[in-house]
Amino acid sequence: MMAVSASSDHQRLVDETIAYFQERDITCIDFEKHVGVETRKRPDLLLPDFNTLLEVKTFAPQEREIEEAHRIGKELSEGETSAYWHPAFYDRFGDHLRSARQKFRIYPDYNTAVLLYDLHSFVHAQTPEELLRGEEYYEFGYLKDDPEQTVLVDYGYKKRHLRRDVNHEIGAVIFHTGQNTFRVFHNHFAEKIRRIDKGIFALSEDEHFEYIDNSVNPQIIKLEEQ
């Protein structure tokens, strides 16, 4: 099922991002317009003063999610109890990072970041930490001499899309948190040239974290304030 009006939302958010940086007195250029149109896709934005490329991605709600959010909103507005399962869109997140990585790969001398806008209502709004860590799992087994007894065999996180063995081209993943503020997760295992300057997101409302991938215990550590 296709996302609803994803392309128009994307261009709108690219334009809004340029405006955000203009408010911060940071030069921001539409990179594709700057270098000219070619067959291959390019990152969306260039911050020339920071030698940084940004790729803008959107979590646009799909049709079934719009319908479910409408149903839940209607039930709540009528004073009814409404229950639903809150999904994490790990696969969509992975697709976004994969696409960005391919675009960044042909520009090896730039700092890089993926900027994500979540367009979902509260019903399906995504949690950055959950998407980054991946899906937690537990694997149980039975004892051979006691089949009724279960033991924990393995546990950890799967669907980790910012793994240490991939996505070295992505210096940071940034989540827009509303208004003009951002949460920045710096990729600990990114190539050194890819790490972005924290000064790009230096408002007091912005938050910076270090994401350290690990299959058993991925860590998100808050960095010192600017």
- For residue 1, is it within any domain? no
Predicted local distance difference test score (pLDDT) of residue 62: 67
Q: How confident is the model at residue 39 (pLDDT cuts 50, 70, 90)?
A: low
Predicted local distance difference test score (pLDDT) of residue 30: 93
* Cβ atoms of 44 and 54 closer than 8 Å: yes
Q: Which helix (H) or strand (E) segment is 68 a member of?
A: helix 63-77
Predicted local distance difference test score (pLDDT) of residue 113: 98
In the chain, the amino acid numbered 43 is P
Query: What is the domain range of residue 211?
Result: 6-222
Report the C-alpha gap between 61 and 58 in whole angstroms: 9
- For residue 69, is it within any domain? yes
- For residue 27, is it within any domain? yes
Residue 80 confidence (pLDDT) above 60: yes
Other Cβ atoms closer than 10 A to 155: 12
Residue 1 confidence (pLDDT) above 50: no
- For residue 178, is it within any domain? yes
Name the domain count of the chain. 1
CB burial of 83-109 (b: ≥16 within 10 Å; e: otherwise) equals: eeeeebbbebbbebbeebbebbeeeee
Q: Which helix (H) or strand (E) segment is 129 a member of?
A: helix 128-133
